[in-house]
Amino acid sequence: MRLNLDEIFDIFATRGHAQYGGEPITQLEHGLQCATLAKEHAATPELITACLFHDLGHLLHDLGENPTEQAIDDRHEYEGTKCLEQIFSPAVTEPIRLHVEAKRYLCAVDPNYRASLSENSESSLILQGGPFSSEEAAMFIAKPYAKSAVKLRIWDDRAKVVGLETPDLSSFVAISKSCL
């Protein structure tokens, strides 16, 4: 699927009101919260954009709002990346492609991390292959953009707050355009 930036923003504006998996917020709220956390931590425009769009893949399929409940791994990190890599550099797309692996990595290296996962994120972890082994974790963190993916993942996990005020979607247009 070939999409331009306006079409990607339109997908979030029109389909982003779907529930974010088994979480108590919408896909749009989740993306805005994640991007806002990145911005508050002085992330690069590329990483802020990656945070905003990291779950685009969830909005591109017709598997329902929570495929995890059906024991389906929608592989959203790859589906979203396929669309985004046509207009963005790897500094945007690679943290997105790697953010599920970053969850598997964090579960392997930080025993407290897995305990902090939401119920839905724990269920999806199992479908996504579970925690990495020590060897897999070492191979993952050596990849280009893995450290950015870990940052994205941490903000992703924190971006599930009901009623949190964030800037609106249009406030991220200029940041995203600067990454084209």
Domains, the chain, with CATH or none: 5-159 (1.10.3210.10)
- pLDDT over 70, % of the chain: 91
What is the model's pLDDT at position 121? 84
Mean pLDDT of 13-34: 90
Q: Give the lowest-confidence range in 32-36, 119-123, 141-145, 166-170.
A: 119-123
Question: What is the CA angle 133-135-137, rounded to 5?
Answer: 70
What is the model's pLDDT at position 80? 86
What is the model's pLDDT at position 23? 82
* Spatial separation of the C-alpha atoms in residues 7 and 157, rounded to whole Å: 26
What is the model's pLDDT at position 63? 47
| Among 65, 14, 2, 108, CA closest to 153 | 108
Mean pLDDT score across all residues of the chain: 90
Pairwise pLDDT comparison (52 vs 128), residue with the higher score: 52
Q: Is the pLDDT of residue 138 over 90?
A: yes
Q: pLDDT tens digit string along 44-82?
A: 999 999 999 999 988 886 645 554 555 544 556 778 899
Crossing angle for the helix pair 146-158 and 134-141, to the nearest 10 degrees: 110
- Judged on CB neighbours under 10 Å (0-12, 13-18, 19+), 142 is exposed
Q: Give the lowest-confidence range in 23-27, 47-51, 153-157.
A: 23-27
* Amino acid at residue number 4: N
What is the model's pLDDT at position 61? 60
| Among 56, 72, 49, CA closest to 7 | 56
What is the model's pLDDT at position 122? 85
